[in-house]
Amino acid sequence: MNKGNHVIVGISGGVDSAVAACLLIEEGFTVTGLNIKVLDNTEENPNLSPSPMVISDLEDFRFPVYTLNLSDSFHNDVISYFIHDYLGGRTPNPCMVCNKLIKWKGLFKGAELLRADSVATGHYARIECNDGSCRLFKGSDNQKDQSYFLWMLETGDISRTLFPLGNLTKTEVRKHARRFRVKAAEKKESQEICFVPGNDYRQYLASSLPGIEERLKGGDIVDPSGSVIGYHAGYPFYTIGQRKGLGVSSPKPLYVNRLDPDTNRVHVGGKELLQCRKLKAGSMNWIGIDRPETPLLCAARIRYRDKEEPCRIVPLGKGTVEVLFDKPKQSVTPGQAVVFYRNDEVIGGGIIQEALPDPT
């Protein structure tokens, strides 16, 4: 695991990052914590400043923690992207963008200022380095594996990163937390988007964009034949695969299968219309392999809890690819990530741009 003696560890206040830091100390590393503020709108100095955060009650596992205020960058790079994607009829995943543009950017800035050798986080993923080349793998705990969110990291980022929890289960991490007397040992996990109160993205959009409901409500809800069967509350407030809250009656269940910002229409149909074998993706990033110039066989997920399925990647140029799955996928959603795997190794990923008609 050794990538230098001094490590900057991202400290979130949760059990995972605290245990990651303590494990590194136990292995003999010099650890400095970095807490990255993303929602602080005060005009305090954005440079590093010591934080009073205390991770462990044990003297041997106490270490300095600094704070880096990246709230402006977070608003410009993550929140603005989140809002822009919904207005574009897409469903964004802000966590993966935050990892690349905020967390790792901040950690490497901290490493530069504090002259550290590498950075570390509490993510459940693994890194293997051989002959100077580093590759990204799933975490050993299938229930906690977070490799899906890390596809945007470049090979250079990975080569300077440590994941101390990669070979552990969540149960084992909590046991270590109690052993280290970590203050957050029993803290419950949050599955919410950190900047969206109550995880209600619709209310967040409405409050962030005053008047959006009045401007967009009343658009058509359209069935597969093109008939208008109802009117919606604004296309950004709907997601692909949504069934509840459509406000239309039908003899069979209807699901959102397409959002059209240009016409302010929400397209609905039967569940069978959500199945798709082909998609187009862009903003590609490749890890541990060269950018494919010819078709590539691998497996892929189209969302965090998705099951990987065999697929064929066809490069299109300009950072885009077509992905053809062996079996139909359910609810291919523009704005989400498609992440590519070879067994347990992450070899790349991209942002889904659109679902494509199945090949005949």
Helix residue ranges, H only, the chain: 15-26, 71-74, 80-87, 94-98, 105-114, 155-159, 170-179, 201-208, 212-216
Residue 23: CB atoms within 10 Å: 23
308 vs 94: CA distance, rounded Å:
21
10 within some domain: yes
Percent of the chain at pLDDT above 90?
82
Residues 104 and 151 both lie in one domain: yes
115 within some domain: yes
185 vs 246: CA distance, rounded Å:
42
Please state the domain count of the chain. Answer: 3
**For the chain, how many residues are written?**
360
The pLDDT, as a whole number, for residue 241 is: 95
22 vs 19: CA distance, rounded Å:
5
The pLDDT, as a whole number, for residue 47 is: 59
Residues 83 and 114 both lie in one domain: yes
Residues 264 and 282 both lie in one domain: no
37 vs 68: CA distance, rounded Å:
6
44 within some domain: yes
C-alpha 121 chain-centroid distance: 15
73 vs 36: CA distance, rounded Å:
11
Least Cα distance to 165 among 136, 127, 135, 123 occurs for 123
Q: Answer for the pair 126, 164: CB distance below 8 angstroms, yes or no.
A: no
Residues 339 and 236 both lie in one domain: no
195 within some domain: no
The pLDDT, as a whole number, for residue 69 is: 93
137 vs 148: CA distance, rounded Å:
10
What amino acid positions are annotated as catalytic residues? 98, 194
The CATH number of the domain where 289 resides is what?
A: 2.40.30.10
The CATH number of the domain where 47 resides is what?
A: 3.40.50.620
Q: What is the pLDDT of residues 302-325, one digit of tens each?
A: 999 999 999 999 999 888 999 999
Tokens 């569940």, residue?
271
Question: Which helix (DSSP H) or strand (DSSP E) does residue 161 occupy?
Answer: strand 161-162
The tokens for 32 are: 């400095």
Burial of 60: CB neighbours in 10 Å, binned 0-12, 13-18, 19+: exposed
Residues 14 and 78 both lie in one domain: yes
Residues 22 and 168 both lie in one domain: yes
The b-or-e profile of 95-114 (16+ CB within 10 A means b, else e) is ebbbbbbbbbbbbbbbbeee
Residues 167 and 219 both lie in one domain: no
The pLDDT, as a whole number, for residue 4 is: 65
pLDDT, averaged across the chain: 92
Residues 171 and 55 both lie in one domain: yes
Residues 218 and 248 both lie in one domain: yes
The pLDDT, as a whole number, for residue 268 is: 97
The tokens for 183 are: 């203050």
Q: Residues of the chain whose pLDDT is less than 70?
A: 1-4, 40-47, 52, 185, 187, 190-191, 360
Report the relative pairing of strands 65-69 and 30-37 from DSSP bridges.
Answer: parallel
Residues 78 and 113 both lie in one domain: yes
The pLDDT, as a whole number, for residue 43 is: 46
Residues 20 and 53 both lie in one domain: yes
CA quadruple 46, 52, 58, 60: dihedral sign: positive
Phi then psi for residue 46, to 5 deg, are -75, -5
191 within some domain: no
- List the domain range (segments joined by +) for residue 132: 6-179
User: 231: Cβ–Cβ under 8 A, 6 or more apart, which residues?
Assistant: 217, 218, 219, 220, 221, 247
C-alpha 250 chain-centroid distance: 36
Calculate the alpha carbon distances from 55 to 26, 32, 39, 261 in Å. Answer: 14, 12, 21, 47
314 vs 294: CA distance, rounded Å:
7
Q: What is the pLDDT of residues 156-204, one digit of tens each?
A: 999 999 999 999 999 999 999 999 999 876 767 766 788 998 889 999 9
The pLDDT, as a whole number, for residue 60 is: 80
Say what the pTM is.
0.92
Residues 292 and 248 both lie in one domain: no
The pLDDT, as a whole number, for residue 117 is: 94
The pLDDT, as a whole number, for residue 132 is: 76
204 within some domain: no
53 within some domain: yes
